[in-house]
Amino acid sequence: MQVLKFGGTSVANAENINKAVAIIQQAVKKEKTIVVASALGGITDILLQCAALAAEGDEQYKEKLLQIEQRHLELVKALIPVAQQSSVLSLVKKSCNEIEDICNGIFLLRELSARTRDRMAGYGELLSSRIISARLKTGGTANSWKDSRELISTTSDFGHAGVYFTVTNQQIKNYFATEPGELFILPGFVASDLNGITTTLGRGGSDYTAAIIAAAVEASAVEIWTDVSGMMTADPRLVANARVIPHISYQEAMELSHFGAKVIYPPTIQPVMRKKIPVWVKNTFAPEAHGTVIESGSVRNGSSIRGISSISKIALLSLEGSGMVGIPGFSKRLFEALANAAINVILITQSSSEHSICVAVEDDFADKAKDVTDKAFAWEIETGKVEPLAIEKGLAIVALVGDNMKSHPGVSGKMFGAMGKNGVNVRAIAQGSSERNISAVIATGDVKKTINVLHEEFFETTYKQVNLFITGVGNVGSRLLGQLRQQQRYLQENLLLQVRVVGIANSKKMLFNDEGIDLSKWKELLQEGEPMRLPAFIETVRGKNLRNSVFADVTANDAVAASYDQLLQKSISVVACNKVACSSAYEYYKKLKDLAREYNCLFLFETNVGAGLPIIGTLNDLLRSGDTINKIQAVLSGTLNFVFNNYDGKKSFASVVRQAQDEGYTEPDPRLDLSGTDVMRKIMILAREAGEKLEMDQIANASFMPASCMTGSVDDFYAAMEKEEAHFKKLYTEAQAAGKKLKFVARYEGGQAAVGLQHIDPQSDFYHLYGKDNVVLFYTNRYPEQPLVVKGAGAGAEVTASGVFADLVRAGR
Ligand code: ADP
Ligand code: ASP
Ligand code: MG
């Protein structure tokens, strides 16, 4: 004998019922079969809504009743040949009349008891099972319909009745032993108490009906037919990459379903586990798929955990007080108070200091829990031994489930590490000594992110998703997007990173797309975006709460730089191409570094010095490995280098500067380069990274620019330089006459930094420095005479973009 249960979606409409019928017809060919049917999808909810509306005196229940009737009548008409419809139609009519009578009664009395609610809720299964039975019969498949209420006897706990197994098993055994036939159709969910009053087994209880019957008749298997191809590693509505679990133990299935994986109603497992009956979870819409088999014994699958699930609408109750320390009996009294009020405790933790006990309950029960607990501890509260019960609502529990966690140290470390990196605050933790479940209480808003992060951490053999937000899509930004687009496949295949750009902005527009912006046409899409408002942009990045979020600033904007702290505080890594933050007041730079450490994310700005050259990374590596920086000498301005390499007095100085700007080497305002300010910022950043607390006004700058060039607009600046051509020519000819070259050099030594134009003789490391190259010489304890040299192109959109790209990948991993 086998038991097949069809869930709400599997019997939601005629098309689906026909799929179920085909499955049933195949099944009967093999073995004697019992079919348990759920109500048509959504009907139980509507029935309960009708009752609730009627009780509130809201006449809208009548409309809903009509909907219920319509849906069933239409179904009969679609499923059963006209000639044979009448008896089923009248049965539907009759039941709907009863439902209406009950609702009218509720409406008149404005009273709805749990008992009446069960009576109402049960109609869904009674109707669906009748219709399916008739459909099979008229289709030539003989079967008997049997009312489950005559077989399953329960307590009178309406809404979640407890089964009297001895009587129930006997009744079921007797019926199926004596009743002839190969196919039986029964309503799920409904039962009756010892007085014959209709009860229900709890929402989702049709699974339980199937298990109760299967255990009683010692069936060969139970098949739960639903709308997914088995139990999955996580709720597929939350995790796009959830995978079907082919084999799972009874215990694991129980833990997973307890923690919110809806697929199976948790009490279902118990009766079949005792009889070692395998349970298959199968997909009505893909019957050929393997599905999940739940059976005894755990199957090793290489992963120590089997699935991740969550329950929302949780409240955390904390009982705290110094009066509890070392005194036995406090927890007993707390749990007694909760139990007496029929409040179910979902999770318990107590710190070993015994200073507090913390329990999680359903949100709806929180107020009642406070009430009964404060009463139970009234004396202790009055005498200050304990505090009144603290409650916090709006929380959720996320749980890792797996039999094999036992033998794998480090699972919880990995779990909380991954959550920490994503800025998920854990409110309470519980791990049972069975080591089959680790649960964490977190804010509801973090659930989706957390489940996805954990899924990637424990299951993703495919890839990890990185979500990028980019401000600034000018010269460098647009190259960056181009490089990202080109490398997306490589990153996914080789680094297992799925990099998605989910937000971009320029000074005018901003654009978001959680699925990833199509990088082949980001320009057009951005055109159509919303108007850019920086606070809104930052708030959206924070509010989206996406896992592995990285923010890249490719602007030169002060306000964007001033927002990094808000992002880091949400554990969102920041990659700055913008130099403003690192070269602003030391305090802000330090704050950002500290925040990144505190919130477990990264603040990276390699391109602040030498564009794509590995200068800051090299400096950090030296320091981390225990070296000391004694002196830095550097040519750090791609622009100035380009200008002095190309200026020979033939073309005007201003026109060479213009060329540098046109080729994209300068800052948006070229005066920052020409004045030496940009070089000051860079040497200061290096000094700060080397551990020096340095500010801009402490850096000496021997500027070569005449003061007249530095006022007014950028256009004024070019005009003024033309006028000062003689000054620039003199600088050049003096150097040339001495056999030297002009270089703008930065130097840091003994806590002091200085920048300025120098005559460089042919022996110098700086002499052979062409184009827009940068060079940095690190003199350290390990490199005392021959410095460590980093040299190469230090400006340009393409190399800068590639530097930002490298930082992004670093932050994403
Ligand atoms: P039925 O109506 O057939 O009883 P349910 O709605 O009770 O179906 O359960 C199936 C649904 O459970 C699926 O559609 C899926 O969205 C959800 N679900 C939640 N967690 C999981 C999980 N871990 N594996 C599979 N499905 C899950
Ligand atoms: N129809 C009932 C419910 O929705 C039982 C079930 O479908 O399992 O809760
Ligand atoms: Mg269900």
| Gap from CA of 22 to ligand 2 centroid (Å) | 22
| pLDDT at residue 56 tops 90 | yes
| Gap from CA of 237 to ligand 1 centroid (Å) | 9
Q: In sequence order, what are the beta bridge partners of 550?
A: 468, 573
**DSSP classification of residue 244:** B
Lookup: tokens for 341: 């009020």
Distance (Å, rounded) from C-alpha 100 to C-alpha 791?
Answer: 85
| Gap from CA of 371 to ligand 1 centroid (Å) | 35
Using an 8 Å Cβ cutoff, are 307 and 261 in contact?
yes
- What is the dihedral angle through the alpha carbons of 626, 631, 636, 641, rounded to the nearest 10 degrees? -140
| pLDDT at residue 435 tops 90 | no
Residue 260: the pLDDT is: 67
Confidence of residue 404 (pLDDT cuts 50, 70, 90): confident
Distance (Å, rounded) from C-alpha 220 to C-alpha 203?
Answer: 26
As for ligand 2, residues whose beta carbon falls within 6 Å of it are: 7-8, 38-39, 44, 124, 188-189, 203-207
Of 434, 453, 204, nearest in space to 310 by CA: 453
Per DSSP, the residues of 377-431 read THHHHHTTSSPPPEEEEEEEEEEEE-GGGGG-TTHHHHHHHHHHHTTPPP-EEEE
Selected catalytic residue, list 137, 421, 682, 772: 682
Please list, in sequence order, all residues whose beta carbon lies within 8 angstroms of the beta carbon of residue 796, skipping any fewer than 6 positions away. 611, 638, 663, 664, 665, 772
Q: Which of 263, 292, 398 to mutate to test the pocket of ligand 1 (most atoms within 8 A of CB)?
A: 263
Confidence of residue 350 (pLDDT cuts 50, 70, 90): confident
Least confident interval from 69-78, 425-434, 611-620: 425-434
Please list, in sequence order, all residues whose beta carbon lies within 8 angstroms of the beta carbon of residue 540, skipping any fewer than 6 positions away. 503, 510, 512
Which pLDDT tens digit goes with each residue over 502-523? 999 999 999 999 999 999 999 9
Report the chain's terminal Cα–Cα distance, integer Å. Answer: 53
Residue 410: the pLDDT is: 81
Which pLDDT tens digit goes with each residue over 206-265? 999 999 999 999 999 999 999 999 999 999 999 988 999 999 999 889 888 877 667 899
Which pLDDT tens digit goes with each residue over 701-732? 999 999 999 888 989 999 999 999 999 999 99
Within a 10 A sphere around the Cβ of 750, how many other Cβ atoms? 8
| pLDDT at residue 433 tops 60 | no
- Please name the residue ranges forming H helices in 40-164: 43-55, 61-79, 85-109, 114-138
Distance (Å, rounded) from C-alpha 475 to C-alpha 298?
Answer: 57
pTM of the model: 0.75
Radius of gyration for the chain, computed over Cα atoms and rounded to the nearest angstrom: 36
Helix (H) or strand (E) holding 356: strand 356-362
Least confident interval from 92-101, 351-360, 673-682: 351-360
Confidence of residue 462 (pLDDT cuts 50, 70, 90): low
The question of whether 5 is a catalytic residue gets the answer: no
Closest C-alpha to ligand 2, atom 5: 204
Which pLDDT tens digit goes with each residue over 172-204? 999 999 999 999 999 999 999 999 999 999 999
| pLDDT at residue 488 tops 70 | yes
Lookup: tokens for 701: 């700058």
Q: What percent of the chain has pLDDT over 70?
A: 98
CA 205, 207, 211, 214 torsion: positive or negative? positive
228 lines ligand 1 (CB under 6 A): yes
Least confident interval from 138-142, 347-351, 360-364, 502-506: 347-351
| Gap from CA of 262 to ligand 1 centroid (Å) | 5
Using an 8 Å Cβ cutoff, are 579 and 667 in contact?
no
Within a 10 A sphere around the Cβ of 442, how many other Cβ atoms? 21
Residue 321: the pLDDT is: 86
Residue 241: the pLDDT is: 85
| pLDDT at residue 541 tops 60 | yes
- The pairing of strands 144-145 and 183-187 is parallel
609 lines ligand 1 (CB under 6 A): no
Ligand 2 atom closest to 189 (CA): 5
Residue 770: the pLDDT is: 85
Lookup: tokens for 22: 């085909």
Average pLDDT of the chain, as a whole number: 93
What average pLDDT score do residues 65-86 get?
A: 96
20 lines ligand 1 (CB under 6 A): no
What separation in angstroms does the CA of 301 have from each of 257, 414, 415, 436? 20, 18, 19, 15
Using an 8 Å Cβ cutoff, are 170 and 176 in contact?
no
Confidence of residue 569 (pLDDT cuts 50, 70, 90): very high
Distance (Å, rounded) from C-alpha 793 to C-alpha 774?
Answer: 6
Sequence letter at residue 729: K
